Structure 1
Amino acid sequence: MSAQTASPEPDPNFATVDIWSWSLDQPEDKIDQLTALLSTDEAIRAARFVKEQDAMRYVAGRGRLRLILGEYLGIAPRRLTFAYNDFGKPYLTSAGRGDLHFNLSHSADRAVLAISDRFPLGIDIEQAKPMEEDIAGHFFSPKECAILRAMPAHLYLPAFYRCWTRKEAFVKAHGAGLSLALDAFDVPLGNEPTLRLERLDDTIGAPDDWSLLDLDVPEGFFGALAALTAGTPVGLRYRS
């Protein structure tokens, strides 16, 4: 993956968000190793999946999450503990490190993880698939729907997924889950290099408090990151 990088000099006015990406389709011996890192609750959840592939992908996602966070904290992955806010967003309770913000997303065989020690954030990845129903009409704002309807047919799907992933990333960063309506704010639908929230209900906050960035993801996928940066410039650092 190519990377957008932060300034090489330490700068309190500039921040970097780490982006990790990996395949969820791992060999059986690797899955066995990752399974050993899971908590009891996670192992029980993995065992409940009907399809073996779904169970193995869950283990590959959750186990690697523990490995990566363990490296940041200097804690054995198995010892990490999590709690969840009222809307289901996870946060760390291990060693008092609730200040290490992270968010995980997965689609098909890909997982992406964002980590920051400064900002609440959200990340989303989606594999693009043809749609038969009007999903945009059910969830997007009137402005976003109007822009989509005016697009040529061959541009509709990319614009839809850019919109969807940016909106999902913002909802996850905000932390209110499905209680935050997707039509309460507008995001851009184009592929311009600089993104910003175009509208945000004033009961939620100010658009300029948020940073919105597209991810460098494999072909056939779309991805976005949102972070509550309060105007601080932010860049992405891709890790492997």
Structure 2
Amino acid sequence: MQQPSFEVIGPDLIDVWTWSLDAPSSSLDEFAALLSAEELARAARFVRERDRHRFIVGRGRLRSILGRYLDLSPQKVTFTYNDHGKPSVALPDGAPIHFNLSHSADLAALAVSDRYELGIDIEEIRFLKEDIAGRFFSRKECLTLQALPPEAYLDGFYRCWTRKEAFVKAHGEGLSLPLDSFDVTFDWSSEPRLERLDGDPDAPFNWRILELETPVTFAGAVLALTKGRPVGLRYRSDEGETAIAHRDLRIRSAPFSP
């Protein structure tokens, strides 16, 4: 019996895929054909047509990409979930890859590794109507945010928020992990890093934060349990792979200004 031909990523890279969730209506049936009965039932529960379409495109594209790595047709990719809702790929010999999906507005981002537990978060930058930082950030993070100049506050908030959300997703305990139980850096003068995790003094060494390249109106981050090993992001697309951002993405090198 011929063994499946898994696509190898290796220890030095994490693959990142991004795509628009607003695919043409003409392609919706093609994406829907890739989904399981449970996913189609979930899609049907969306009240708004746009949300239903985006869910179908997101899950269909996820299946297509994971199928490439696993040498499986998209329809044969099977997901399982831990007690906190984190998905993994169900295979008889265990999942050879780790992955995490995030989406905001019309943009989806997927991180894939065959070595490391990971999480990804992407968020559209919007004005804040309440003090979210005061409710969820750690004391040190709130003080850092308050010290930023007013024009850098929104950018700083989303840099912090996406790093924290990506860590929660990578850690695997979901909402049971309090957002104020750990600190991340996010000011422009500091390298991205996890500074503290309650009960785990080795966490700052074991976890690596990587800033995601995004359109200027988004922020994003990837967290990976590399146990001290340096790792980079490789941006992938249907047209091939590149060591720099995909042509329609660019990293924000200065605070976001609406």
TM-score if structure 2 supplies the norm length? Answer: 0.85
Show CA shifts across 1:160-200 (max 9, x none): 00000000011100000000011111101223573211112
Asked if the contact 2:186/2:192 (under 8 Å) is kept, the reply is: no
Indicate the SS of the match to 2:128.
coil
Report 1:68-147 matches (<5 A): 68-147=65-144
1:165 aligned residue? 162
* Residue 51, structure 1, aligned to residue 68, structure 2: no
Deviation at residue 95 of structure 1 after TM alignment: 4.6
Show CA shifts across 1:186-227 (max 9, x none): 101223573211112124852110010100011100000000
TM-score if structure 1 supplies the norm length? Answer: 0.92
Q: Following the alignment from structure 1 to structure 2, what is the Cα–Cα distance between the partners of residues 191 and 110? A: 25
Q: Following the alignment from structure 2 to structure 1, what is the Cα–Cα distance between the partners of residues 92 and 69? A: 12
Q: Following the alignment from structure 2 to structure 1, what is the Cα–Cα distance between the partners of residues 157 and 222? A: 16
Counterpart amino acid of residue 180 in structure 1: L
Equivalent position to 1:227, from 224, 228, 237? 224
**CA shift in 2, pair 1:143/1:18, >3 Å:** same
Bigger Cα displacement from structure 2, 188-197 vs 55-64: 188-197
Q: Following the alignment from structure 1 to structure 2, what is the Cα–Cα distance between the partners of residues 79 and 204? A: 41
Greater RCO, 1 or 2 (C-alpha within 8 Å, sep 6+): 1
1:184 aligned residue? 181
Indicate the SS of the match to 1:96.
coil
The number of residues matched between the two structures is: 229
Q: Following the alignment from structure 1 to structure 2, what is the Cα–Cα distance between the partners of residues 58 and 236? A: 25
Q: Following the alignment from structure 1 to structure 2, what is the Cα–Cα distance between the partners of residues 93 and 204? A: 32
Counterpart amino acid of residue 88 in structure 2: Y
State, as a whole percentage, how many aligned pairs show the same letter.
57
